[in-house]
Amino acid sequence: MIGRILITIVFLQFVSSQTFQDDNILNGQLTVVVEDNLGDSSSNAEAGSLDEERWTERTVINIHSVKLGQSQISHTRQWNSELLKTLKKLALKNDFYKLRLHQKNGREPRYVQTFTDACLLYTGGLSETLTVMVDGSPSVAGVPEQTVVSASLAVPTARFCDLADVNGEALRNGHNTTLQLRTPSAATPPDTATFIQKLESMNKEKTENKDNRSFFAKYWMYIVPIVVILVISNGGQEGGGR
Ligand SMILES: *[C@@H]1O[C@H](CO)[C@@H](O)[C@H](O)[C@H]1NC(C)=O
């Protein structure tokens, strides 16, 4: 029993130290710059270079904790009627609205790109859900580092493209961004609290239920012969005494 408790304690400490490490990796500050491209991708698909020049910084995301989903979004570009017109042009052409993200860490930016249907974004009144996947991995120096590995852009309020039925006010207000932070499933910290609870209740059940319930059932083969022997020997002694 004591051995089992000791093993459990050692195991729990191991689990909590593991979680602590993951916390360190996924809790640091992270600044992500979001740029968009309202360029027409069909007309200069071959040139490529023109499109590249059209990227403009749009939003800055300050991530405080990936694990707790704590972040702050600020749209650094003033949304205006000109931009709205350009987006509508894209929507009419059935083109894409393109987005790219990079981390602000003083190094050469490594871009992660995503896109959504321009017409869906327009129909949905610019209410978008941006999902950013952040992975924590030890860098060369051994210091844990967070990396934006991928991103996706969705417009949950628009199910199909309908330029006739749009929310003009929302479109004038500009981007309404809901941010979702994700980690790849392999790097997701284990749900330790639930696991410990389960372990504890399992142990409790074992000690409370199983042992009490099955004591006689388990040892009847020893108890019964002892009782029989006692009864017989008692009987024998009593018989001998008379
Ligand atoms: C912003 O987006 C959210 C989620 O899509 C939506 O519930 C909310 O109504 C939107 N707000 C405005 C002002 O459009």
pLDDT at residue 121 greater than cutoff 90: yes
Report DSSP state, residue 206.
I
Give the tens place of pLDDT for each residue, 157-214: 999 999 998 999 999 999 999 999 998 865 555 667 777 788 788 887 776 655 555 7
Residues with CB under 6 A from ligand 1: 125, 127, 156-157, 170, 176, 178
The rounded distance, in Å, linking the Cα atoms of 155 and 122 is 9
165 vs 119, 123, 128, 175, 193, CA distance in Å?
11, 7, 17, 18, 47
Three-class secondary structure of residue 209 per DSSP: helix
Place 20 in a pLDDT band, splitting at 50, 70 and 90: very low
**What are 59's strand-pairing partners?**
34, 75
Distance, CA 114 to ligand 1 centroid (Å)?
21
| Ligand 1 pocket test target in 153, 176, 177 with most atoms within 8 Å of CB | 176
| Ligand 1 pocket test target in 116, 120, 127 with most atoms within 8 Å of CB | 127
Tokens linked to 88: 């509508």
Distance, CA 84 to ligand 1 centroid (Å)?
18
Distance, CA 22 to ligand 1 centroid (Å)?
33
Distance, CA 203 to ligand 1 centroid (Å)?
47
Nearest-atom number in ligand 1 for the CA of 157 is 5
Give the tens place of pLDDT for each residue, 77-86: 999 999 999 9
pLDDT at residue 112 greater than cutoff 50: yes
- One-letter identity of residue 22: D
For every residue of 80-115, DSSP letters joined together read -HHHHHHHHHHHHTT-EEEEEEEE-SSS----EEEE
Q: How many other C-beta atoms lie within 10 A of the C-beta of residue 52?
A: 11
CB neighbour list of residue 153: distance below 8 Å, 6 or more residues apart:
97, 99, 114, 115, 116, 128, 129, 130, 131
Residue, of 21 and 182, whose pLDDT is higher: 182
Reported as half-sphere exposure (CB side, CA atoms, 13 A), residue 192 has a value of: 14
The rounded distance, in Å, linking the Cα atoms of 182 and 63 is 12
User: What mean pLDDT comes out for the span 29-43?
Assistant: 86
Residue 206 burial by Cβ neighbours in a 10 Å radius (0-12, 13-18, 19+): exposed
Statement: the pTM of the whole predicted model exceeds 0.85: no
Instruction: Give the closest residue (by CA) to ligand 1 atom 9.
Output: 127
Distance, CA 71 to ligand 1 centroid (Å)?
17
